[in-house]
Amino acid sequence: MKKVQIILLTVFLSFAGLAEAQIKQGLRAPEVALPTANGDTVRLSSLKGKVVLLDFWASWCGPCRVSNKGLAKLYPKFRDKGFEILGVSLDEDHTDWQKAVKKDKISWLQVIDDGGWESVTANKWRISAIPTSYLINRDGILIAMDLEGKELEKALNQLLEE
pLDDT at 79: 97
pLDDT at 161: 85
CA distance 57 to 80: 24
pLDDT at 11: 39
Average pLDDT, the chain: 88
Domains (range + CATH), the chain: 24-161 (3.40.30.10)
Could you report the per-residue pLDDT of 84-142, keeping only the tens digit for each? Answer: 999 999 999 999 999 999 999 999 999 999 889 999 999 999 999 999 999 999 999 99
